[in-house]
Structure 1
């Protein structure tokens, strides 16, 4: 692990903000590091407001999208809400279809089959629309590159509205409207929305047309917050506002489907991390193991008893997913060793019977072992399909674009992508990708990094600081949980390893004459020799609160330990 202390902002900026907010310089430093430099910016950060949401009509083509939907309703047309099978896609489909159905009955949903149709808009989906008399398809979290599909639909007199957040190619599909803040000709003030976020802007615009207020749309924000958490988009601007209010809905008055999922794990109050690790994987498991329709059924069900039935089925899919993910990770690690590929710059592995639904998770697991851009391939029909994951700072989408001559199709983001290729092109692509990564990855991008916000002493960890840090939530990319460094720390002699293979560590630590603090480090069991016999060491950690038997205590969540 590389420990990097974030550069300290200028003293002038720190003093100015500390004075304006009446906070310690230390807190002002954390804020300036997040790009918050004025009283007004701090107020917006600490007090998110629905008034901070932008006018949806600032998005290119929003007027066209709303007009086409209103005409469809007026002319009694059938509308098909189409979306991808992951969390972002299924929450977006649930959101837009539920909103439309609350005003109009001729609305149905379509989630492509991960195995038979693959990612994004499918010809099979368009044939389904034609066979069932749909004349308008609203595509969510996909479609920005579906030029042939939209043309195919046009031949059948089916219109498309595309709501996407992925990077467009050089040519856009000939849809009636394309809502994508990443379009180069779209000047919407915030371009980091997820697919469900773009869907929310659409219903916000439709609502304005009906004289509905933003308060009328609050019940949909549990879906938006879930998508924001799952899709790992920046926790800034509109995303932060939507996540903040969406978490309130999840904790106070969630839809029956989300309530049933949370009920399964019996947790009282969820934060954004819980949404990432509890709610999102279960919704995802439906599309990974069975079919994304199961997630939409759950998220649009109004009867709690029925939702509980759906949730228990999804719980089983999630359990199956865990077993597959462990087995395939093990096989992939063996393959890397057998093929003598431990020293490469990239990981590219393939086995034809690996379950397509979990290869993205496996790619992330492999990065935990070999920290480098990773692609996991499996057989999909007569092609090979892969999920890609990347390491901090390395744009895997750009690397795939550089090797695109070997690919059939690809799409995604900087850190996650999907692709297909012909079987005979696999080895050429694998070599080209390795060469591209080797030539473009920076030496520091090959070592995992812990970014540290500030060095502090234990005596600075006060209830007041913890109260302030709580107000930094919800955390996520570009607003991560603050990480602190403390030096000259010693264990009081109560340190021990935990877990079946002693893989975790639990310490009780002091610094000079400070009060003792409990500390827990997951996956840090191998660091135990560093902390024994009163040896001093350094800690990188986040500050947590631990609730046990109704009592709340401060606890350090360790990121790393070094001598």
Structure 2
């Protein structure tokens, strides 16, 4: 791994902020590195308030969207709330539909089938709307590129309101309203909202029209926080406010569907990391293994007994997903090794029987293993479908644009995308993708980087520092967990491998005869020899709390070790 130490702010700035906030220099440094340079900014960071959210009507087309929904309600039209089958899409559908049905009954939900219809707005979904008398579709977390589908709906006298956060193409669909802060002509002050976040801005605007306050919308924030965590959007600006208050809802008064999941996993206080690794995979599993509508049904359920039944079904989907994920990952790794492809700039693998619902997860696993832009293909009808994942610093979406002549359809983000192509184009694409990446990627990006916030001494690690760092949460892109580096550490003589095959490292360290501090290094068991026999070593780590027999102590969560 590459250890990169972030530039230290000017000492005068550190001292000024430390004095203003009455904190020590290390905390001031961490805040300055996050763009926080004065008391007012620190207050917004540590105490996010819902009144800091922007006026939803600053978003282009919001006034038109609200007017069209009000007109639909006035005219007793049927409204279909349509969304993608992943966490962001299903939470967004649950959010908007459950808000609308509070005061208007003619609302239904629709999630496309991942296998039959694929990603985004489908002709089948529009036909469903037409056959069942829906004249307005609110599309969430999809639709900004659905030019043909929206035109088809228009022929059938069905209006679309699109709420999306993906990059638009050269043309915007001819919908009644297109809410997307990434539109070039949208001046909304924050463009990093997830799909569910755009859905929240829509209900915020409707609430304002209905004479409600932001406090009336707090019960919906558990959905928004879950989508923010799962969709890996930056936890800055509005996302930080929404995630901060959404986590409070999850931990104090979650909706019945979340309560059913949390009860099953028997977890108490959830962090954003817990939401990402406990709640999100279960919601996702429904769309991966069966149908995303199961997730929506769970999230809008108000009866605990029924929700518990739904959660049990989803738990089974999640178990099946894990089994498949492990099996396909092994097959994909074997394919790369058998073809002797470990040395290229990309990993591209294909098998026609791989389950479409888990290829994204497999792509992530392969990226972790070989650390390079990765695509995993499977058969989908008469075409091939793939999930793409990238490494930090490399835009895989742009790389796919460079291969557009081989691709039927693609969309996504900088680090994750999806695409379809004709089977006869697979080898061409594979070659072209390798060429584009090899010509555009900085080779340094093919080695994982650990970005270190500050070099510290162990004596600086105190309960007070830990209390303050806990207030830096929720962590995520744009506000990552602080990573520290300490030099010339020594093991106390108790270092050992723990866990299955001793793949984790457990030890206790000192520095210049400081008091010992416990450490855990997940997947660092192979570094045991580096710390044995009193050898000095350097470490990068985050700070964590370890609870054992009712006692809570600070421990170092090791990320990497090197000889001193």
Smaller-chain TM-score range? Answer: over 0.9
Q: Which residue of 2 aligns with 1:198?
A: 198
SS class of match (1:225): helix
Q: Which residue of 1 aligns with 2:80?
A: 80
Q: Which residue of 2 aligns with 1:437?
A: 437
In 2, distance between residues paired with 1:386 and 1:527?
36
In 2, distance between residues paired with 1:77 and 1:115?
30
Q: Which residue of 1 aligns with 2:260?
A: 260
In 2, distance between residues paired with 1:22 and 1:77?
58
Q: Which residue of 2 aligns with 1:157?
A: 157
C-alpha displacement of 1:548: 2.4
* 1:317 and 2:298 aligned: no
Q: Which residue of 1 aligns with 2:32?
A: 32
SS class of match (1:501): helix
In 2, distance between residues paired with 1:529 and 1:313?
45
Q: Which residue of 2 aligns with 1:216?
A: 216
* 1:545 and 2:545 aligned: yes
In 2, distance between residues paired with 1:212 and 1:548?
46
Q: Deviations over 1:359-386 (max 9, x none)?
A: 0000010011101000000000000000
Q: Which residue of 2 aligns with 1:377?
A: 377
Q: Which residue of 1 aligns with 2:342?
A: 342
C-alpha displacement of 1:26: 1.3
In 1, distance between residues paired with 2:450 and 2:95?
37
In 2, distance between residues paired with 1:421 and 1:498?
45
Q: Deviations over 1:459-508 (max 9, x none)?
A: 10011100110110000001000000011111111111112222111111
Q: Which residue of 2 aligns with 1:493?
A: 493
C-alpha displacement of 1:22: 1.4
In 2, distance between residues paired with 1:204 and 1:399?
37
C-alpha displacement of 1:440: 0.5
In 1, distance between residues paired with 2:474 and 2:374?
29
Q: Which residue of 2 aligns with 1:279?
A: 279
Q: Deviations over 1:46-104 (max 9, x none)?
A: 11000110000000000000000000000000000000000000000000000000010
In 1, distance between residues paired with 2:203 and 2:5?
43
Q: Deviations over 1:327-357 (max 9, x none)?
A: 0000000100111101010011000000000
TM-score, normalised by the number of residues in structure 1 = 0.99
Q: Which residue of 1 aligns with 2:506?
A: 506
In 2, distance between residues paired with 1:62 and 1:72?
15
In 2, distance between residues paired with 1:13 and 1:153?
57
In 2, distance between residues paired with 1:302 and 1:505?
45
Q: Which residue of 2 aligns with 1:295?
A: 295
In 1, distance between residues paired with 2:29 and 2:289?
45
Q: How many residues align?
A: 563
Q: Deviations over 1:108-158 (max 9, x none)?
A: 000000000000000000000000000000000000000000000000000
SS class of match (2:267): coil
Q: Which residue of 1 aligns with 2:560?
A: 560
Q: Which residue of 2 aligns with 1:482?
A: 482
Q: Which residue of 2 aligns with 1:422?
A: 422
In 1, distance between residues paired with 2:240 and 2:386?
31
Q: Which residue of 2 aligns with 1:11?
A: 11
SS class of match (1:497): strand
SS class of match (1:554): strand
In 2, distance between residues paired with 1:173 and 1:222?
31
C-alpha displacement of 1:39: 1.3
C-alpha displacement of 1:16: 2.1
SS class of match (1:108): strand
In 1, distance between residues paired with 2:475 and 2:549?
26
Q: Which residue of 1 aligns with 2:450?
A: 450
In 1, distance between residues paired with 2:227 and 2:524?
31
SS class of match (2:51): helix
C-alpha displacement of 1:18: 1.4
Give me the CA root mean square deviation. Answer: 0.6
C-alpha displacement of 1:231: 0.3
Q: Which residue of 2 aligns with 1:533?
A: 533
C-alpha displacement of 1:387: 0.3
Q: Which residue of 2 aligns with 1:97?
A: 97
Q: Which residue of 2 aligns with 1:397?
A: 397
| Structure 1, unaligned runs of 5 or more | none
* 1:229 and 2:229 aligned: yes
SS class of match (1:419): strand
In 2, distance between residues paired with 1:501 and 1:176?
58
Counterparts of 1:27-66 in structure 2, within 5 Å, are 27-66=27-66
Q: Which residue of 2 aligns with 1:461?
A: 461
Q: Deviations over 1:241-294 (max 9, x none)?
A: 000000000000000100111111101100011001000000000000010000
In 1, distance between residues paired with 2:163 and 2:14?
41
In 1, distance between residues paired with 2:12 and 2:534?
41
* 1:114 and 2:118 aligned: no
SS class of match (1:352): coil
C-alpha displacement of 1:10: 1.8
In 1, distance between residues paired with 2:4 and 2:311?
42
SS class of match (2:500): coil
SS class of match (1:206): helix
Q: Which residue of 2 aligns with 1:411?
A: 411
TM-score, normalised by the number of residues in structure 2 = 0.99
Counterparts of 1:143-182 in structure 2, within 5 Å, are 143-182=143-182
In 2, distance between residues paired with 1:405 and 1:16?
55
In 2, distance between residues paired with 1:404 and 1:549?
57
Q: Which moved more, 1:194-203 or 1:552-561?
A: 552-561
In 2, distance between residues paired with 1:290 and 1:547?
38
